[in-house]
Structure 1
Amino acid sequence: MDPEIPVQEQSPLELDLKEITRKILFLDKWRGIFRYYRLGKNDTTPQNDDGTHMSAEETGDRSRMLRPRGQGQLLSSGFCSIPRLTILSSKLDGFLISPSMATMLQKSLFGDTNQVLSSDWRKAHFKFHDPFSDLAFALQVEKGGAQSIQMAVQGSIIKYLLFTREGKDHDLHSLCNLSQREQEQALAAVLADILWAAGAAQKAIVCLVTQDIQSTSTCDYSSDNFIERLQLFEFSEKGATEKFIYDHLQCFKGEGSHGVIVFLYGLVFSRTFERLQKDLDISTTHLLQCQSGSISCRQAVLNMILTGRASPNVFNGYEKGRSEETLHGVLTRSDVGYLQWDKDTSEGDRLSQVGSMLKTPTFPVWLCNINGNYSILFCTNRQLLSDWKMERVFDLHFYSGQPSQKKLVHLTIDTHSHHWEGEHYEDKRGSGRRFSSVEMVIRTKWRDATINWNGTVPFF
């Protein structure tokens, strides 16, 4: 052998074969589209397989069904509308949703079969800020009913990155020093963990949208051309769940993926309809509520993300309602906590007061509901909630989820210095104090705390 010729050098014939193979695979990828739309004919009107012309509605349905695997859009043309939904091949080892399951899903979400999720829900997905940035750990969140789910997942992402991720530094710097791969690994791990907990650590169901569509002629629910395309994948191991989600992460994080809705559907199926019925009570019979044209999550959805159980209330254990019916609260200590402050809520209403199961979580991370807007408070010191001495003076970090926030807000909490009682905090009602809503939600946990914003203008 000539020593000047590299051992692994490929012959021109081998290179030609590889190039031919690559082109064949590319053509095969689009074969179905070309076949259905008769691109070789002068008549560019989409046709059915029997040669008859498609209606406009059929054209839209066919274009959505024929999207190549893993792609969010088709190339635009004069007769091919751009699909809005990421649809995968149905040749995956799952099972298609049945009409009866679709009906039960609708009833679990809305209480009836006539509602569909609005456009703000359909746009919502799990998208991080840029890697290696001040908010590399944070999801981009827009206004709408899906915000509460995104921020609840955000709390679990911070918990994972700071306290449960193996082999990495657990500090504030590590949150900002994330690569795209690390962001994706965190999202897959967190989504899998939440679904696994909802399935009582026995199984998890992941929902994806595929090409096949079930007949809607016997379906007792309002078809949105989405639920009927669901394919369900059941896993008996959390690790397998995480790997599957990671392999199909574009179905949760991609533009047009309907990622939050797909996750919510998986959450319901993982919990099972039977468990949901036991979790809920007379105060909450379904998971979503419609008010003034908007659709929002009830507390049961947030508690299911935080604890695995769809408890409809925030107090500990069980309480008697006004009609002496038994109301279901939170039964186990959550990993990520929950705090709430609403200026219109009476402090004397015991049923609305957050119990210790949510207020004092395993890890110092809290989902905050402040006047109906959701945000995150967290501390990088894991010992904060296990050593009372740590709660004298400590730092919290605040992420509002609002597009205007470009970096974390650093707050210093002092639970023993009471200089906040000065006259400049008095309001016109004579209550003696005036604080921002962020300060008020912190004081639901540390009642007499002083909050130093460290140069940031307080949020009101």
Structure 2
Amino acid sequence: MGDRGTGHAAPTPLEEIASRISDLSKWREIFSFHGLEINSTIHQQGRSSAAHGPPEAGESPGSQPPSSIPQPLLLPQGEGGRPIPPDTAMRLQKLLFRSTAPLFSSEWAAAHFRFHPPHSDLAYALQAGKGGTRAILAAVQAHIITYLLFTRETECTHLKRLCRVRQWEQGQALASALAETLWAAGGGGRAVVCLVTAPITTMPREGYRANSFTERIRLFEFSEKAAAQGFISDHINCFKGEGSHGVILFLYSLLFSRTLERVQEDLGDTAPLLNISSGNITCTEAVLSLLLTGRASPRQLGGCQEQEPGAGDGDAGTGGAAGERRDSPTASGTLGTARAPGKRPPGQVSPGLRTPRLPVWLCSVLGRHSVLFGTDSQLLSDWKSERIFHLYFYTGQQEQTQTAHLTIDTHSHHWEEAQREGPCSPGKRRPALEMAIRTKWAGATVSWNGTDPFF
């Protein structure tokens, strides 16, 4: 390109753009040769700032563009982890799909832990999107709410406090939720975190199709929960950044924390962990059980069986918690509605399975996952608190812009005169969420406080 004052003609705008693109390509080649990428460097800077302090400038508002392959991780010295051996990679795929071929859809590959904007009505909440990953996101959401309301030191446990969550706090809450779940899966003695590294760490064996993802994962094992949580916090963008494959990485971490051998023992000869139907990949209740109880056994949720979504609208439900209150590895529980008539009679599950230590429930209502929670930590330990109380409901659906506020009255008796007809009798159908709530508080009335029931 010529300088002004010389006899050469100035470059045209098109030539100027082409020259800049050429220079950028050269730099990309240089970074790639050394195992680095430009986006990865930016990613690491944002991660470091977000991990080591609360300032809002830790991460830029604009996130990385989606990518089919996660950006490589720049590992500090001494934190090399270990690769996944080829035989183990094949066993992992068989547990997930009963196939050695990687079958994750683009929907799963794009899924990550993305919060709503900080200092907003849903600052505490993950954006669940659509598809089969919502069950995992909702289960993690329950742990996030538990941390923000009841675990961390805070001056109050009120819904407005959740709306004031900052970006740094979002990352801390996610790190706590992931570590808590992995630690429970590891039996309270270990946690394994999966992260993507720059080079392909293993060569695939014959019969196993490489996907440039599993071969780039390294396993980091911890014998202390605090160490695992600190490590996740330092690398939180590896789970919540665009193009990170964050949900798949967390699912892998969950399975390796439990160990593949124990997961197989939990499953026995049952179906794989993920269902594939009409191109959609969904979680079985074994995955939900692993998320909530640390064991991949549907029996932990009260013997629930996976059924077709959408059937049995209005059926009274049963639910399971993360174990009974005295020995639960996690604090949250579950509520749900049956998806097909006659599959599970109402009330079959013991009350302890619907009574977690803290008032946070993962709801499985007509095949859709959401979170119901209260802000009073004593709600389930003092019967006087359960007369008239407030619960809050978050679905993760894009159209929900505010947390739904419900008032539960367990001493209203307008239902008693029709109890003998059953809650699912013709003309007595109620919103599915209300039916799930009544599996915990039989006969309770539910007020949506001016909001039209939507679930």
TM range (shorter): 0.7 to 0.9
Shift of 1:172: 1.5
Q: Superposed, which structure 2 residues align to 1:372-391 within 5 Å?
A: 372-391=367-386
Post-superposition shift, 1:170? Answer: 2.0
Q: Which amino acid aligns with 2:260?
A: F
CA distance in 2, matches of 1:35, 1:131: 35
| Residue 254 of structure 1: aligned partner | 241
Give the whole-Å Cα distance in 1 for the aligned partners of 2:341 and 2:331.
26
SS in 1 for 2:408: strand
CA distances 1:183-209 after superposition (whole Å, capped 9, x unpaired): 111111111111111111111111011
Amino acid in the other structure paired with 2:442: R
Give the superposed CA RMSD: 3.2
The 1:105–1:348 alpha-carbon spacing in structure 2 relative to 1, beyond 3 Å, is closer
Q: Distance in 2 between matches of 1:273 and 1:217?
A: 19
* Structure 1 residues 389 and 330, CA gap change in structure 2 (3 angstroms): closer
Structure 2 contact 287–296 (Cα < 8 Å) conserved: yes
Q: Kindly indicate whether residue 23 of structure 2 is the aligned counterpart of residue 37 of structure 1.
A: no
Of residues 4, 24, 37, the one that matches 1:67 is 37
Query: Retained in 1: the 8 A contact 2:285–2:304?
Result: no
Taking a change above 3 Å as real, the CA distance of residues 403 and 35 of structure 1, as seen in their structure-2 partners, is closer
The 1:72–1:113 alpha-carbon spacing in structure 2 relative to 1, beyond 3 Å, is farther
Tell me the secondary structure at the aligned position of residue 190 of structure 1.
helix
Q: Which amino acid is 2:362 matched to? A: L
Question: Given the superposition, is the C-alpha separation of residues 181 and 168 from structure 1 closer, same or farther in structure 2, using an over 3 Å criterion?
Answer: farther
- Map of 2:19 onto structure 1: none
State the secondary structure of the residue aligned to 1:263: helix
C-alpha change, 1:64 and 1:416, in structure 2 (3 Å) is farther
- How far is 1:114 from its partner? 2.5
Q: Look up the match of 1:313.
A: 299
Deviation digits for residues 361-418 of structure 1 (CA, Å, limit 9, x no counterpart): 1111000011111111001111111112211111110111111111111111111212
Select between 301-310 and 129-138 the one with higher mean Cα deviation: 301-310
The residue that corresponds to 1:86 in the other structure is 71
TM-score (normalised: structure 2): 0.77
- Alignment partner of 1:277: what SS? helix
> Do 1:85 and 1:257's aligned partners in 2 also have CA atoms closer than 8 Å?
yes
Shift in Å, 1:444 = 1.6
* Corresponding residue for residue 193 of structure 1: 180
Check if 1:95 corresponds to 2:90.
Answer: no
Number of aligned residue pairs: give it.
387
- 235-244 vs 213-222, greater mean Cα deviation: 213-222
**Unpaired stretches in structure 1, ≥5 consecutive residues:** 1-30, 40-61, 74-80, 320-328
Q: 1:357 to 1:262 in 2, by over 3 A?
A: farther
Q: Tell me what 2:276 maps to.
A: 290
The equivalent position to 2:144 in structure 1, one of 132, 146, 157, is 157
Give the Cα–Cα distance (whole angstroms) in 2 for the partners of residues 100 and 70 of structure 1. 32
Instruction: Answer yes or no: is the 8 Å Cα contact 1:124–1:258 preserved in 2.
Output: yes
Structure 1 residues 218 and 82, CA, compared in 2 at 3 Å: closer, same or farther? closer
- Superposed, 1:4-15 pairs within 5 Å as none
Query: What is aligned with 2:255?
Result: 268
Query: Which residue matches 1:279?
Result: 266
Deviates more, 1:152-161 or 1:435-444: 435-444
- Give the structure 2 partner of residue 408 of structure 1: 403
Which string of whole-angstrom CA distances, capped at 9 and with x for unpartnered residues, describes residues 43-79 of structure 1?
xxxxxxxxxxxxxxxxxxx799642445569xxxxxx
Which of residues 151, 163, 182 in structure 2 aligns to 1:176? 163
* Per-residue deviation, 1:83: 6.1
In structure 2, relative to structure 1, the CA distance for the partners of 1:437 and 1:181 (3 Å cut) is same
Separation (CA, whole Å) in 1 of partners of 2:425 and 2:262: 48
- Secondary structure at the aligned position of 2:299 is classed as coil
One-letter amino acid of the counterpart of residue 218, structure 1: R
List runs of 5+ in structure 2 lacking aligned partners.
Answer: 1-22, 45-65, 306-321
Does 2:201 align with 1:207?
Answer: no
SS in 1 for 2:171: helix
Going from structure 1 to structure 2, the CA distance change for 1:158 and 1:35 (only over 3 Å counts) comes to closer
Q: Secondary structure, in 3 states, of the residue corresponding to 1:141?
A: coil
Distance 1:182 1:156, change over 3 A: same
Q: Deviations over 1:332-371 (max 9, x none)?
A: 5351111111353426548x95444431111110000111
The amino acid that maps onto 1:377 is L
Tell me what 2:359 maps to. 364
Structure exhibiting the larger radius of gyration computed from Cα positions = 1
Contact 1:109/1:288, CA 8 A, preserved across alignment: yes
Please state if 1:123 is matched with 2:131.
no
1:454 to 431, 443, 449: 449
Q: In the alignment, residue 395 of structure 1 is paired with which amino acid?
A: H
Q: Residue type of the partner of 1:125?
A: H
Partner of 1:396: helix, strand, or coil? strand
* Whole-angstrom CA distance in 1 between matches of 2:408 and 2:175: 33
In 1: Cα distance, 2:445 partner to 2:304 partner:
33
Partners of 1:414 and 1:85 in 2: CA distance: 48
Tell me: CA distance 1:38–1:125, structure 2 relative to 1, closer, same or farther (3 Å): closer
Contact in 1 for aligned 2:118/2:164 (Cα 8 Å): yes
CA distance in 2 between partners of 1:260 and 1:65 (Å): 24
Instruction: Work out whether residues 405 and 448 of structure 2, in 8 Å CA contact, stay in contact via their aligned partners in 1.
Output: yes
SS at match of 1:363: coil
**Alpha-carbon spacing, 1:343–1:232, altered in 2? closer, same or farther (3 Å):** closer
Question: Is 1:99–1:219's contact at 8 Å kept on the other side of the alignment?
Answer: no
Offset, 1:269: 0.4
Provide the secondary structure at the position in 1 that maps to 2:379.
Answer: helix
How far apart are the structure 1 equivalents of 2:157 and 2:285? 30
Equivalent pair of 1:70/1:86 in contact (CA under 8 Å)? no
Match of 2:287, SS state, is helix
Within 1, Cα distance between the matches of 2:34 and 2:400?
36
Match for 1:135 among 100, 122, 131? Answer: 122
Cα distance, 1:444–1:228 mapped onto 2, change above 3 Å: same
1:169 CA displacement: 2.5
CA shift for structure 1 position 214: 3.8
Identity of aligned residues (%): 49
TM-score, length-scaled by structure 1: 0.76
Query: Could you tell me whether the CA contact under 8 Å between 1:72 and 1:83 is conserved in 2?
Result: no
Query: Partners in 1 of 2:34 and 2:258 — Cα distance?
Result: 30
Tell me the equivalent position of 1:111.
98
Please give the alpha-carbon distance, in whole angstroms, between the structure 2 residues aligned to 1:339 and 1:293.
28
Task: Quote the Cα distance in structure 2 between the aligned partners of 1:115 and 1:83.
Answer: 14
Match for residue 76 of structure 1? none
1:221 Cα deviation from its structure 2 partner: 2.9
